[in-house]
Chains A and B, each alone.
Chain A
Amino acid sequence: MSLIKSMQEKILGRPSSITEDMVRSALSSIMDPDLGKDIVSLGFVRNVVISGTDIKLDINLTTPACPVKDSIKTQAEVALKNLPNAGTVSVNMTATTRGQVTPAGSPIAASLGQVKNIIAVASGKGGVGKSTTAVNLAYALAARGSKVGLLDADVYGPSIPHMTRPDAPMQSNSNLINPPMAAGVKIMSIGLFAGGDKATILRGPMVSGVIKQFLTQVNWGDLDYLIIDYPPGTGDIQLTLSQTAPITGAVVVTTPQDVALIDVRKAIAMFDTMKVPVIGVVETMSYFVCDGCDKKHHIFRDGGGARVAKEFGISFLGDVPLEPSVATASDQGSPAVVSHPASSAAKAYTEIAGAVASQVSIIHEAYKDALNHFSIVWNSQN
């Protein structure tokens, strides 16, 4: 206890008390850098309990994956301890993921009604590490305490079952299919169905039917994030997905090569046409860190993904090194963020997950009043 504090106690007989107003005003200088407002006006400060000079409260963020969570906690503790006479200070960090509201009557209500955010992971061309990104993003968000689902919409080349190995078989209740879990994440893929590996023979209209089923007849339940691994390119499936479900935003994956970057522009333009906000660009297989010298070696021209992001004025979410462990982890059915959490690739995916979660919170701030689905019947007089 400080000298002044103990002097005061001696003079007054007991420490002067702290009010909730004092607590709130002390915290009102702490900003959420993503939302650009202070944590008090954002309504993050909750359950303030003051007993004498001891302060206990919750700070409820918009996502458990918030990258500035620790910094906000420290700032709050410092601000509270600096209050005159402050006793013990206990700041508990919680999160309620912001999400969209799906009206009860909509065709997706049964399946996606309790899904707060739907994130598309897309790419302009194949083989750029899109599925690997989708899987690691899903598991990085789950590791931070979010409820996550992963939908494999790449019906012509489903790879999610192989990369995650869901444990339980699928079951259906009345008219919804229950997705099996793999290490705490709900998984759905055409590859889980008998004969699903022969999906390449499906024709256009059937594919669109399968995609619609994934979004209307799967029991996704209560999820903070549903990650969708899109097929590569800009075709009908992508359109069906965006027309059937309210996609919160899209993550566009690319490699640094110039050829991939041409396709990335097409992918961004497609989401723009469908008015799906582009959350940002991820560059994979960017560089490798060699065992000998620990230096980053850029195999291709440096910074292509960042350049495209800048050109479109969208966020660059990060780059992921080329690391053999990433590929072997996927092959063994356990994503790198789970099986090799200390690798630089896993760290990169985790940072990207934090950036995605922040951007999603920003999108919700902009669209918090928007209707996601409407249907009106005209009342004609003639």
Chain B
Amino acid sequence: MKPESSLTNAKGPAVRVKSISQMDDRTLGITWTDNESSRFDVVELRRKCPCATCIDEWTHEQILKPEQVAETVRPLKIESVGQYAMSIQFTDGHKTGIYTFAMLRRLAHLN
């Protein structure tokens, strides 16, 4: 696979966050620098946590089962990490997931 640079990627520069806000009780809204808008269900984000305890680093298999995450889980705080990702601290005490913007865009495009 040919490596792609973040600057001159054929798809243009990698996207960053232009604005981010809570839309309703369980929806996070993000507008990206290319003006695309995405909405995320926060419970779904908890289930898709990419950290090493939730996803097996080697097999990429999901360790966390969806049913282990209660429908009532919510974020406490969402913070940027560098210019490429954000971390979410959840009400169930979990906070190790680093959600890259690239991953969030992929998730948004799946829905």
Q: Which residues of A contact B8 (CB under 8 A)?
A: 312-314
A275 to B82, CA, bound (A): 8
Contact with A along B18-30 (1 / 0, CB 8 A): 1111100100000
Of all chain A residues, the one with the shortest Cβ separation from B72 is A382
* With A274-B82, A278-B5, A370-B33 as contacts: A379 and B22 at CB distance below 8 Å: yes
Contact call B3/A371, Cβ cutoff below 8 A: no
Q: Which residues of B contact A374 (CB under 8 A)?
A: 17, 20, 78-80, 86
A128 to B25, CA, bound (A): 53
What distance in Å separates the Cβ of B109 from its nearest Cβ neighbour in chain A? 18
* With A375-B79, A376-B22 as contacts: A277 and B17 at CB distance below 8 Å: no
Q: Which residues of B contact A271 (CB under 8 A)?
A: 6
Within 8 A of B (CB), among A113-161: none
Contact call B7/A363, Cβ cutoff below 8 A: yes
Contact call B13/A312, Cβ cutoff below 8 A: no
Of all chain B residues, the one with the shortest Cβ separation from A239 is B82
- Residue B51 CB within 8 A of the other chain: no
A246 to B81, CA, bound (A): 9
- Residue B62 CB within 8 A of the other chain: no
What distance in Å separates the Cβ of B15 from its nearest Cβ neighbour in chain A? 9
- Residue A381 CB within 8 A of the other chain: yes
What distance in Å separates the Cβ of A282 from its nearest Cβ neighbour in chain B? 15
Contact call A382/B79, Cβ cutoff below 8 A: no
Contact call A265/B25, Cβ cutoff below 8 A: no
Contact call B78/A277, Cβ cutoff below 8 A: no
- Residue B91 CB within 8 A of the other chain: yes
What distance in Å separates the Cβ of A113 from its nearest Cβ neighbour in chain B? 16
What distance in Å separates the Cβ of A250 from its nearest Cβ neighbour in chain B? 10
Contact call B76/A278, Cβ cutoff below 8 A: no
Contact call A314/B80, Cβ cutoff below 8 A: no
Of all chain A residues, the one with the shortest Cβ separation from B31 is A369
A218 to B84, CA, bound (A): 24
Contact call B13/A277, Cβ cutoff below 8 A: yes
Q: Which residues of A contact B78 (CB under 8 A)?
A: 374-376, 378
Q: Which residues of A contact B17 (CB under 8 A)?
A: 370-371, 374
Q: Which residues of A contact B72 (CB under 8 A)?
A: 382
Q: Which of A268, A311, A367, A377 contacts B16 (CB 8 A)?
A: A367
Of all chain A residues, the one with the shortest Cβ separation from B86 is A374
A294 to B75, CA, bound (A): 66
- Residue B38 CB within 8 A of the other chain: no
* With A314-B7, A363-B7, A380-B74 as contacts: A275 and B79 at CB distance below 8 Å: no
A311 to B4, CA, bound (A): 9
- Residue A269 CB within 8 A of the other chain: yes
Q: Which of A369, A370, A380 contacts B83 (CB 8 A)?
A: A370
Q: Which residues of B contact A314 (CB under 8 A)?
A: 5, 7-8
Could you list 4 further interchain pairs (A-B, Cβ under 8 angstroms) beyond the known A242-B83, A275-B84, A276-B6? A272-B3, A279-B7, A312-B5, A377-B77
Q: What 3 pairs across the A-B complex have the smallest Cβ distances?
A: A275-B84, A370-B16, A277-B7
